[in-house]
Structure 1
Amino acid sequence: MSASLRSESARTTTAAERRRDAIDLSGWGRRFRFVQPRSLAFWVYLVLTAIGLVHIWSYFRQDVVFYAEPFAVAAVLCLLCGVAWATWFHHIDRWERQPAGLVTAAIVWGAIPATFAFALPVNTAMLGIYPKLFGQDWASNWAAGLTAPFTEEAAKLCGLVLLLGLAPRLIRTANDGLILGAFIGLGFAVFEDFLYAANGTMTSFSSNPDSAAVTVSLTRIATSAVSHPLFSALVCSGAIYLIGTAAQPRRVLRGILFVLAGMFLHFTWDDASGLGGDNGLGIIAVMAASIIAALVILTIAFRLAAPREREFVRDLLAPEVDDGTVSADEVDALVDRRARRAWLRSAPSHRARRARRHLRRALFDLCHEVARADGVPTSRLDHARAEVSRLRDRAAD
């Protein structure tokens, strides 16, 4: 065998090993199985969900007959908002698309056990204690922010811990914590929004309860972007750094900072009135500052989590580069922002630039199919490769 052939063979073997190691380490392409009778996490999840359902029934059963229509209106509005945000979260989950079953389990945990089995009973008890200890005025300004960041974030974090028990080979990186934390928070936010709308309907004594349900629902929905999904994304990502996994080295200080950041932002959001001095402009200023800080910290969290995912992309596509299916420039455009901008700018026409954007999505699809195939040729993998080739031809026009 000639030296050039030996070198080519060694390079191919190395690329194949890199792919194999990346699949094993990252968990990309793994399927999620919820029903695991031998797992304690599975039974704890079921029991706490059942407790949450019992609390939901006991909370609403006396009023649902009288307010069935406004409850239905509020439920539809909150669910539509939830679907819209879930679609967006799926869109930004570009590195590894979490399995639908795992996402569903995350949303259900946030919606039922975290909200009704944990947060609602504990918050009710705590909010009843604070006025007795410090007075009603103090409690109205500070009680919510000194309760919810601890009880609610802990309740949502328990869901991530159980999901880690159910899917230890799927939840491996800080980015997984960000995405799943956002879905847990989304489930919490949707049911909390509905709860506020239901309570507003029952306490307004309005001649038009449907209008009250719509008003409260839309008010709550307007703040969904920077509430529970964002808080729990930061807290759950920080927890992954604290715990450490096979794919994510422990970063204790970073983990503590992200957990505290999520809780602090939750505090500023709930106690905007107290921080703003009960002044309308002050409250708006606090909320605006909280939103800006939250988005900045979230951006930092995604950027710090990205390098590990980029390594997986490069390793998964290494054999595809050697085979000529994908070019090195295209891989760079997937994982590097500056390279992506230069790659798009170098397109010969607007149509070619648009085709390159589609090509980039197709390359991500190919990456996912490579991981899912796990080294075995499949029709879906062949289709993904053919789609890359087709879009590359269009991008060259």
Structure 2
Amino acid sequence: MRLWLKVFLTGLVLWVATVAVTTWTANSNLVPTVVLLGSFLVPVTFVLWAHERERSPDVTVELMFHAFVVGGILGVLGASLLESWLIRPSILMFALVGLIEEAVKLAALAFVTRRMKRRTARDGLVLGATVGFGFAAFESAGYAFNALFTSEGLSLAQLVETEVLRSILTPVGHGLWTAIAGGVLFAAGGRFTVQVLLAYLGVSLLHALWDSMAAIAIAITLVLTGRPWQFQLLRIGRVPDVTPWQVHVFTVLHWAGLVVISAIGLAWLVAVSRSARGGRAEGNAPLSSPPRS
């Protein structure tokens, strides 16, 4: 059995057992274990999968550990500081979050790999994904911790729901976006070229669209199914009630949007990976910009 699969199955069994025992005994001392296991299981699994799939003598276990832990922590710290200083509620908020978080992850990747003597695009894909998954793991732990607290007290059910949802979405989030940027960065020899800038802007756009998809789905739902009385309430600053049909339309649009964004990101990752493979075979093939949808 592959190591990544063994780690995932073992971790899943331990997480389920911890949730069950915590629910049965109401022992709050087990909550940190639930948070850590649930937040780190999928990111660690995908890092192991990427390492086994693309073995490289230059990408050591020690380097991957630094990329995951140091890169991930530097990323969340940098994002937290910059977002608290620069972002205020506005229509540009999602775009700024995407630009900031992708910038700090790319900077963290450059920092933890600064001593690498040889860089290949394939290594950039793996190490970029590792930094991205480290960022996702620490960020998910924070979301899970916050989900625990409700107006009615501690809610283990809400914590578990948050971890499950974020774990399902993890493979097409931070790890994917930073893998793309890392592959392009390493293909450029670690230099911040025009291609790296375009890749950074592209993944930042995907990130912003992902974060804002709920708002976009709400707007489209109102345009397609809005009632006159709902628009009247919105004009005076009140939030109108919604119909059951609008809830269904919103859900479909929201998830369809996430699927489309994920498909674009995965197609771009495949294009970068193939270019990297071609560059390794031919010597130095340039990597492409994101595929047009």
TM-score, normalised with respect to structure 2: 0.69
1:304 is aligned, of 275, 280, 285, to: 275
- Report matched runs for 1:271-350 at 5 Å: 271-278=212-219, 279-310=250-281
AA at the equivalent of 2:178: S
| Post-superposition CA distance 1:50-104 (Å, at most 9, x none) | xxxxxxxxxxxxxxxx965333211111122233212211122145561011101
State whether structure 2 residue 203 is matched by structure 1 residue 262: yes
AA at the equivalent of 1:120: S
Deviation of 1:238 (Å): 2.5
State whether structure 2 residue 69 is matched by structure 1 residue 120: no
AA at the equivalent of 2:129: A
Helix, strand or coil for the counterpart of 1:98? Answer: coil
Q: Which has the larger radius of gyration?
A: 1
Residues 72 and 95 of structure 1, relative CA distance in 2, 3 Å threshold: closer
Partner Cα distance (2:187, 2:278) in 1: 14
- Report matched runs for 1:1-397 at 5 Å: 68-94=29-55, 96=57, 98-116=59-77, 118-127=78-87, 129-130=88-89, 134=90, 138=91, 143=93, 145-167=94-116, 169-170=117-118, 172-202=119-149, 204-207=150-153, 209-242=155-188, 244=189, 252-278=193-219, 279-310=250-281
AA at the equivalent of 1:293: I
For the 8 Å contact 1:189–1:229, the answer to whether it is kept is yes
Residues 124 and 206 of structure 1, relative CA distance in 2, 3 Å threshold: farther
Matched pairs, number? 227
Deviation of 1:208 (Å): 5.2
Partner Cα distance (1:205, 1:260) in 2: 39
AA at the equivalent of 2:61: A
For the 8 Å contact 1:189–1:228, the answer to whether it is kept is yes
Residues 301 and 96 of structure 1, relative CA distance in 2, 3 Å threshold: farther
For the 8 Å contact 1:241–1:254, the answer to whether it is kept is no
Q: Which residue of 2 aligns with 1:321?
A: none
Deviation of 1:273 (Å): 1.8
Structure 1: state its 5+ residue gaps: 1-65, 313-397
For the 8 Å contact 1:198–1:213, the answer to whether it is kept is yes
- Calculate the aligned-residue CA RMSD, in Å: 2.5
AA at the equivalent of 1:174: A
Deviation of 1:311 (Å): 5.5
AA at the equivalent of 2:261: S
Structure 2: state its 5+ residue gaps: 1-26, 220-249, 284-293
For the 8 Å contact 1:241–1:255, the answer to whether it is kept is no
Identity across aligned pairs (percent)?
25
For the 8 Å contact 2:72–2:105, the answer to whether it is kept is no
Partner Cα distance (1:155, 1:252) in 2: 17
For the 8 Å contact 2:213–2:254, the answer to whether it is kept is yes
